[in-house]
Amino acid sequence: MGELKKIAYNCKKATLLIEKKQITLLTLREKLELKIHLAGCSVCRTFEKQSIMINELVKKLFDEANQKELHLDNDYKTALQQEIETRLNN
């Protein structure tokens, strides 16, 4: 089997390229391989769609969690404050 033909059937490699593409630039060859694969593989097109969706959703979940006011325990804060004061005064 020729190299290009191989990728046309290799979903394991295609899904790796889908991940790479979201992080870095693919080489021209990789781009071509992925394009050919996706043109003929609806399963990996679904994977790509969901992969992008997952990244966006994870990012959103973390952003929300960062804004959420989860409070550190008050006694703990008081102790921290005291520790900082002590160190500043010494």
Partner 1 sequence: MNLETKELTVDPRQWVSKYADYLYNYALTRLNDEDIARDLVQDTFLAALEKIQSFKGESSERTWLTAILKYKVIDIYRKKSATILLKPDVTQAEKEQDNFFNTEDGHWNAEHRPILLGVEDNDPLHNKELAHILQLCMHKLPALWLSVFTMKHVDGENTEMICTSLKLSTSNYWVIIHRAKLNLRACLQRNWS
Chain residues in the site for partner 1 (CB under 8 A):
9-13, 15-16, 19-20, 23-24, 43-44, 46-47, 49-51, 53-62, 65-66, 68-73, 76-77, 80-81, 83-85, 87-88
Cα–Cα distance between 51 and 55 in angstroms, integer?
A: 6
Q: Is the dihedral of CA 66, 68, 69, 71 positive or negative?
A: negative
Q: Which residue, 32 or 53, has its beta carbon nearer to partner 1?
A: 53
Q: Which residue, 28 or 86, has its beta carbon nearer to partner 1?
A: 86
Q: Is the dihedral of CA 17, 30, 60, 72 positive or negative?
A: positive
